[in-house]
C-alpha cells in the first residue's frame, strides 16, 4: 500500500493496516513525498502487521514532470514483484499510469487535482494541473478496481474523468475513543491541512473575530507546494499527533469545518466519535455522512457559520442533542467496517486474478 505523510491518507493507511492485521494480512507501506516525522514513525511502529518503507520519491501532485510520477510507479511495481506481495493498493492511483504491476491493483480515490479545481475554480485547468489530471485518468484506467470514501466523491470522480462506472464506496473508519468528551469551558476547534484553500480557513478566521470563545485550529499552516495560511483571529495549535488530537477533543469543543472541498473528512469523524457537536459546510460529502447529525451552513456565508456556533454555545440542551447525534452517527464509520469493505474488494480481485491465471494455464 502506498501513502504520504502530508495529510489524511497517512491516518487512513495506518488504520487500514491495523484492521487488515487483525484479519491476518501483513502490509508493506511505501511512503512517497516528505518522510514521516518522529511522531508518525512512532504511530507506524505501533501497528504490528506493518512494515514501513520511505522512498523519498515525489507525490504526483508535487512532481515537476510526468516522468517522475511514472518512475515512482515503476519503483513501487518493482518492490511489489521483489517482495512477492499479493495485491497493491495505490492511495495515489496516478502511480498506475503507464506501469505494469505483477498483481491486481486497487486505486483509492481520496482526492485529486481535477475535482479540487472543479470545486474551487470551475474554469479550464492550467497546464500544470492538466497533465497531472491526465496521469490520474490513465492511472484510474489501469487499476483493476477503484474505491472512494463517499458516494458524493465517487460521483464527482466519475463525472470529472468520464468513468462509465463510478468507484465503489467504502467509508473511511477510525477507532472510537473509550469515553465521550465533556464540556470543559467552551471553544471551537478545527483540524486538517490548514494551508489548503479547499478547507476554507478564511471563513473560520473571519468568524473567530465575531465569537465570544476562541477558535483553535490544529494542523500545518504551510504546505509542501508553498501554499500558506494567513490567519489573524484563529489560535493556531500546530500539528497534533493522535494523542494530542484526542486530548483536545476530550475537552468537548464544538467542531467546525467550512470546507469547500472535502472527499471525507477524518477530523470530523474523530470529533464526532469523541461526542463533539458538529457545525459543517453544506457540501455533498458532509451531507451524505452527517445529515441529521450536524448543523449545516453555506460555506460562503460567514454570518450563518457564526450564528450556528453561537446558537450551540448559548443553548446547552441543543448542544447536547447534537453531541449525542454525532457520536451515534459516528458508529457507522469504524475501522472494522472499513476493513470489511476493503477486504471484500481485495478478495474479489484475488479470486478474479486466480481464475485468470488458471484460464491461461489451461
Strand partners, 174: 334
Give Cα separations from 145 to 308, 335, 352 (angstroms). 40, 21, 11
Fold designation for 2-173+335-361: Rossmann fold (3.40.50)
Under 8 Å between Cβ of 257 and 199? yes
**Beta-strand pair 50-54/88-90:** unpaired
Sequence spans of domains, the chain: 2-173+335-361, 188-330
Question: What is the dihedral angle through the alpha carbons of 126, 130, 132, 138, rounded to the nearest 10 degrees?
Answer: 170
Which residue is it, cell 491518507? 9
Please name which of 224, 207, 225, 227 lies closest in space to residue 216, comparing C-alpha atoms: 207
Separation of alpha carbons 69 and 317, rounded Å: 52
229-286 tens-digit pLDDT = 999 999 999 989 888 998 999 899 999 999 999 999 999 999 999 999 999 999 999 9
Maximum pairwise Cα distance, the chain: 73
Mean of the pLDDT values across residues 328-347? 97
CB count within 10 Å of CB 212 equals 9
CATH fold match for the domains 2-173+335-361 and 188-330: yes
307-331 tens-digit pLDDT = 999 999 999 999 999 999 999 999 9
State the Cα angle at 31 between 241 and 24, rounded to 5°: 85
Q: What 3-state DSSP class applies to 57? A: coil
Mean pLDDT of the chain: 93
DSSP-derived secondary structure for 304-330: HHHHHHHHHHH-HHHHHHHHHHHHHHH
Residue 354 confidence class, pLDDT cut points 50, 70, 90 = confident
Separation of alpha carbons 122 and 131, rounded Å: 17
Mean of the pLDDT values across residues 187-193? 95
What is the Cα 157 distance to its own chain's centre? Answer: 15
87-110 tens-digit pLDDT = 999 999 999 999 999 999 999 999
Please name which of 19, 20, 6, 15 lies closest in space to residue 44, comparing C-alpha atoms: 15
Residue 359 confidence class, pLDDT cut points 50, 70, 90 = low
244-258 tens-digit pLDDT = 998 999 899 999 999
DSSP H or E run through 88: strand 88-90
Q: 254: which 3 cell numbers?
A: 464544538
pLDDT at position 293 over 80: yes
66-87 tens-digit pLDDT = 999 999 999 999 999 999 999 9
Separation of alpha carbons 261 and 70, rounded Å: 27
Under 8 Å between Cβ of 204 and 254? no
Under 8 Å between Cβ of 79 and 101? no
Q: 286: which 3 cell numbers?
A: 458532509
Superfamily of domain 188-330: Glycogen Phosphorylase B; (3.40.50.2000)
108-135 tens-digit pLDDT = 999 999 999 999 998 999 999 999 999 9
Amino acid at each position: 500500500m502506498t501513502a504520504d505523510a502530508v495529510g489524511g491518507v497517512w491516518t487512513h493507511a495506518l488504520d487500514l493496516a491495523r484492521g487488515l492485521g487483525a484479519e491476518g494480512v501483513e502490509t508493506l507501506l511505501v511512503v512517497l513525498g516528505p518522510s514521516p516525522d518522529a511522531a508518525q514513525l512512532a504511530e507506524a511502529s505501533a501497528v504490528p502487521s506493518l512494515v514501513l518503507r520511505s522512498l523519498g520519491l515525489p507525490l504526483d501532485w508535487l512532481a515537476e514532470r510526468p516522468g517522475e510520477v511514472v518512475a515512482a510507479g515503476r519503483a513501487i511495481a518493482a518492490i511489489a514483484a521483489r517482495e512477492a506481495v499479493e495485491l497493491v493498493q495505490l492511495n495515489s492511483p496516478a502511480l498506475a499510469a503507464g506501469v505494469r504491476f505483477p498483481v491486481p491493483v486497487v486505486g483509492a480515490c481520496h482526492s485529486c487535482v481535477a475535482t479540487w479545481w472543479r470545486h474551487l475554480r470551475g474554469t479550464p485547468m492550467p497546464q500544470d494541473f492538466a497533465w497531472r489530471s491526465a496521469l490520474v485518468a490513465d492511472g484510474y484506467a489501469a487499476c483493476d478496481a477503484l474505491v472512494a470514501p463517499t458516494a458524493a466523491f465517487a460521483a464527482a470522480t466519475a463525472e470529472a474523468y468520464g468513468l462509465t462506472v463510478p468507484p465503489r464506496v467504502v467509508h473511511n473508519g477510525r477507532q472510537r475513543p473509550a469515553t465521550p468528551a465533556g464540556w470543559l469551558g467552551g471553544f471551537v476547534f478545527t483540524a486538517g491541512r490548514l494551508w489548503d484553500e479547499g478547507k476554507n480557513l478564511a471563513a473560520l478566521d473571519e468568524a473567530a473575530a465575531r465569537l465570544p470563545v476562541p477558535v483553535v485550529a490544529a494542523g500545518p499552516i504551510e504546505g509542501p507546494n508553498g501554499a500558506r495560511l494567513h490567519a489573524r483571529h484563529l489560535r493556531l495549535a500546530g500539528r497534533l499527533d493522535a494523542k494530542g488530537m484526542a486530548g483536545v477533543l476530550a475537552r468537548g469543543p464544538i467542531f467546525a469545518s467550512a470546507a469547500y472541498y472535502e472527499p471525507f473528512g477524518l477530523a470530523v469523524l474523530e470529533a464526532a466519535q469523541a461526542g463533539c457537536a458538529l457545525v459543517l459546510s453544506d457540501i455533498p460529502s458532509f451531507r451524505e455522512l452527517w445529515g441529521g447529525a450536524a448543523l449545516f451552513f453555506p460555506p460562503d456565508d460567514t454570518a450563518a457559520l457564526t450564528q450556528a456556533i453561537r446558537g450551540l454555545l448559548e443553548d446547552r440542551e441543543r448542544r447536547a442533542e447534537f453531541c449525542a447525534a454525532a457520536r451515534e452517527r459516528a458508529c457507522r464509520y469504524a475501522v472494522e467496517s472499513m476493513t470489511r469493505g476493503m477486504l471484500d474488494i481485495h478478495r474479489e480481485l484475488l479470486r478474479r486474478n486466480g481464475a485468470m491465471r488458471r484460464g491461461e494455464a489451461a
